[in-house]
Amino acid sequence: MSTHYFLALPIEDEKFEHVQRDILPFYSYRRTYRPEEFHLTLQFLGSLDDDEVEAVKELTREVTTSTAPFALTFQQIDHFGRPDRPRVLTIVPEPSVDLTALTGTLRRKLSEEIPALDRKPFVPHVTLAKKWDTGTRIPYIAPTFTIEEPIETVVLYRINPNHTPAYEAVEVFPLQRSEEDTWRSRLKFLT
């Protein structure tokens, strides 16, 4: 089995876990994400060889060092699939010019370097659960919440499907900041 990678924004606010805990009783999923697995995928990379991994690191570093930190606001539950049995349960951010610019630049540069790159449209979301189990969704009134998530890093993750957590940080790319802050950020994810 080949190793797959993706680039994502780590999501760390504890409020995501609270929203997940409040909403999951109305659904039936086989796979529930752990708080340390919460992320917003910027680009799924699939299987990469060592040279491609190095190219991804170089391009991501180039983009992130010229991108200032920003914040995303989350206020809405959403899903992919049928409303009565959605295959993926998510929290989505409000539209963000900063997120659109970061993702657009990163995806354009990556597609120039890796021709076989997945070109599905970018749909920003944080997955709470996936793989519908049995039954149908129980009607409910969606919880109200506002989560302000500071975005300060992009992470290259490796997928380890038989491990918990399933996502391993391979490299951390701090958004534009001082050298001291850069090292603090890397140590947080790689230790």
Digit-coded pLDDT (tens) for 133-148: 998 889 888 889 999 9
pLDDT value at 176 more than 70: yes
Tell me the C-alpha to C-alpha distance, in Å, between residue 137 and each of 19, 35, 132, 140.
17, 23, 10, 9
The whole-angstrom separation of Cα 40 and Cα 119 is: 16
pLDDT value at 40 more than 60: yes
The whole-angstrom separation of Cα 105 and Cα 161 is: 29
State the chain's mean pLDDT as an integer.
Answer: 91
- Average pLDDT (126-130) is 96
- What architecture (CATH level 2) is domain 4-190? Alpha-Beta Complex (3.90)
- Average pLDDT (163-172) is 90
pLDDT value at 181 more than 90: no
- Average pLDDT (5-22) is 96
pLDDT value at 178 more than 80: no
- Which secondary structure element, helix H or strand E, spans residue 105, and what is its range? helix 97-113
- Which secondary structure element, helix H or strand E, spans residue 128, and what is its range? strand 126-132
Confidence of residue 81 (pLDDT cuts 50, 70, 90): very high
Catalytic residue numbers, as ranges: 39, 125
Between 58 and 2, name the one with better pLDDT.
58
Q: Which among 26, 144, 17 is positioned nearest to 85, based on CA atoms?
A: 26
Q: Which among 24, 33, 21 is positioned nearest to 138, based on CA atoms?
A: 24
The whole-angstrom separation of Cα 121 and Cα 103 is: 11
The domain segmentation of the chain, as residue ranges, is: 4-190
143-164 pLDDT per residue, tens? 899 999 999 999 999 998 888 8
Stated pTM of the model: 0.88
pLDDT value for 114: 86
Between 119 and 90, name the one with better pLDDT.
90
pLDDT value for 179: 64
Q: How many CA atoms lie within 13 A of 56 on its CB side?
A: 29
The whole-angstrom separation of Cα 25 and Cα 140 is: 10
Angle at 39 between CA 67 and CA 186, to 5 degrees: 55
pLDDT value for 169: 94
Terminal CA-CA length for the chain: 26
